Structure 1
Amino acid sequence: MLESGFAKGGQGGQSKEMKLAESKRWCRWSRCHGCFFILVVTVVVFYYNTNIKETAHDWSPKWWTKYNATKWFIPFNSHNNVFPNVSDPSTPGSTPELTTAAGLTTIENLSTFPQTENITEITSRTVADTNTPHQTENSSPVTQQITQKKNVKPTPIPYVSPGPYVVEYPYDYHFIINESKKCEEQKPFLVLIVPVAPNNKAHRDIIRRTWGNQSEVQGKVVKLFFLLGMHSGDGVEQVQEQVQQESKEHQDLIQSNFVDCYKNLTIKTMMMLEWLDSYCSDASYAMKIDSDTFLNLPLLINMLSNAPKTNYMTGLVAGNAAVLRDPSSKWFLPFDLYPNPQYPLYALGLGYILSLDLPKKLVAASRHVKALYIEDVYLGLCMQYLGLSPTNPPNWGYFIVSPLQYNRCTFSRLVVCLIADNTDRLWIWKDYNRPGPYC
């Protein structure tokens, strides 16, 4: 038993020595592997950091923040904005605030996500900041991802109609044909703006040969411009080529990149105001006038010689005009869009005059008043928002909206009127300007 016990004791001692030796070998192996692991991690971190710096040799925390902001922000961009670019850029964090003007729901300080153009700008800035001549085929994934962004065009925002009775304004329209220096060079007293379809060159030519041919009246400089949108439907390229050629010949066309149609007359009117504010604000007055009209410029200039210089709009002023609720009417407006039974005072679109301090104010007001498709009513709503009203002309017969048969005596006593269809306007102009008394 004793011998047996010694044997067991020897085996136990031998077992402990073996375990101790094995434990020492494990520690040495663990330390080696640990060092190897640390070395590998160091190499990987160094390689990654080197590639990032190669991707942006001017690397900084500011760049890294910009890159991540771009990467994470893009998927959350909103494409369903009905009133794009309506917010005031000075208040990018503002939230919608609904108010009412004459019962019309308005939008104040509506903040929206940037449009595709803004995302493109952010992405292009990021690429410009990070793209360097040191890139090779072995560029890091970050470099490859940014390079791919540079070559991929953003998906255009699908057009979302704001509805049948409102139009897409404010919006970032721009002028594709412009006469930006004419007012600065010629310093007109009165600017005439005639909205007309791009393919309606015949009306433009008639106006150029009649009342639009008067560049100085009673010592006052008068300047004429035609305002166009973009032709749609068949023959778009041909019409645009003709417009470009006409612009070179006459230098009196202003064209913006909205679709030219009846519903978009409000857009056309607001682009007129934007243009006047940007390029012709030193003139005294501007007149918007339809193309199928007769204009008596000497009587108009005489009227404006005694007119207010600021906050002035006049024309055929409609008062207590009823809102038309018959869906078959050309000017129908539903109750839920405008609940009041009557519109505020507004000057009919046949032809109205405004002092040149008003365009800037009306454009600013348009950011708070939903853009109805009835352009003259919409200007009345913007005037109401500003706390202003159009002024009646000195004589109620100066502005005639119903088409008139030509009479030399009658035409001498009005400022503007519609001309009946199938009338030879060139003959009217020739007869009106012949020598002798009008009446």
Structure 2
Amino acid sequence: MLPPLLIESVAYLGSGVARHDGCVHFIPGTCPGELVEAKVTKIRKTFREAELVSVLKPSADRLAAPDCLVDAGGSSIPVPGCVYGHVTHNAELGYKLEQLASFLKRQAKLENVEKLPIGKFASSKPLNYRNRIKLHYGTGKGGEQLLGYIGEDNFSVVDMAQCPLAVPEINEKLASLREDEEFWKWVSSRGVVSLRWTGTDGVVVSSGSSEFFGTEKLSLTEKIPVFGSLKVPLNGFFQVNPEVGAALVSHITDTVTRCAPDELIDFYCGVGVYGLSVSKMGVPKVSGFDSGRDVIRAANSNAGMKKVRASFYCKHVGKIARRVLKNISGRKSMAIVNPPRSGLDRGTLDALIASPVENLLYVSCAPDTLSRDLAVLCGAGGSYHVISADIFDMFPRTAYFETVIHMVKTRTK
């Protein structure tokens, strides 16, 4: 057992940070300012991981009872992935703002981060917001059937009668499925089930591909600001928090409208959510690129249905970025990049640096790779500087959040 430790801050991914004998200790389930007892569970080369034993001096941020628990064999444990179920929602968002600022200062190495305007959009629902969940099938020690998320050990299945993050419609469907013997036969042979909800289609149950339990729907109807309804392939990406996703689209559309580009490039465009919206707002030329055939087919179909001037191409961004950016116009051009968690490849970064793109929006759910890429785009040898950052509370109670960074081309004298 360690001596009492003072929690100094909360690191990205949710663990409290404390120091003992010159070594950093990461302790999940804690809040800044708390005095806690903990025991070391893993010894790493440069830090220690520890388990919370008791809270000697609680923070005002701590809830009287955690709000994101699941029953596990008679005892309650946090829902896998819900690292902030022990604190108020406001405190959680404050921790995430501090984490983003730290990434921008330490990893991206931006100057004067304390003067950088960082906006925030908080979800009105810290729970019951997800329009999609993926559950795994397993069996317990007594042979009982389990359906839930993969546990913290990355192996066992934590049985979930209900998911506190899912919209009520999904939980209602889940309850009925768990009473259906035919469903248990179906899911046991597939090992996984996806439940996805839209206001138009209701809850669609599938194996995550083209195998369905009940109504078959390969294409769903979603709604976004400005553009309205659009078709999204069942496996196509769409934000899991409809309210915050809509705010994100509005923010990007407003930013593009203020910049008033003659041409916009949308890299990693998916079904064209951003490109379609800004095209409808009057951007003369919009081109989107993504490697997913189904999403590009849907993007062009959506553009055709609403008769907007946007074109989408099934191309690997890393392979075509330099050629595409080389052929665009100068100061009235703009680009949006929304890469996967791995971030941008070096070729795309170099292409952006060498391009005439005046305004660049970087959308990311991974502040670590975002900051790595910003260090290249805005550092020595780069050609941009950051003028604003905004955080979107897309995934309450979990470690993650969405960020939008607005950069402009740095003019040389």
TM-score by length of 1: 0.24
Higher strand share: 2
**Which of the two has higher C-alpha Rg?**
1
Per chain length, whose mean CA-contact separation is higher, i.e. which structure has more relative contact order (CA < 8 Å, sep 6+)? 1
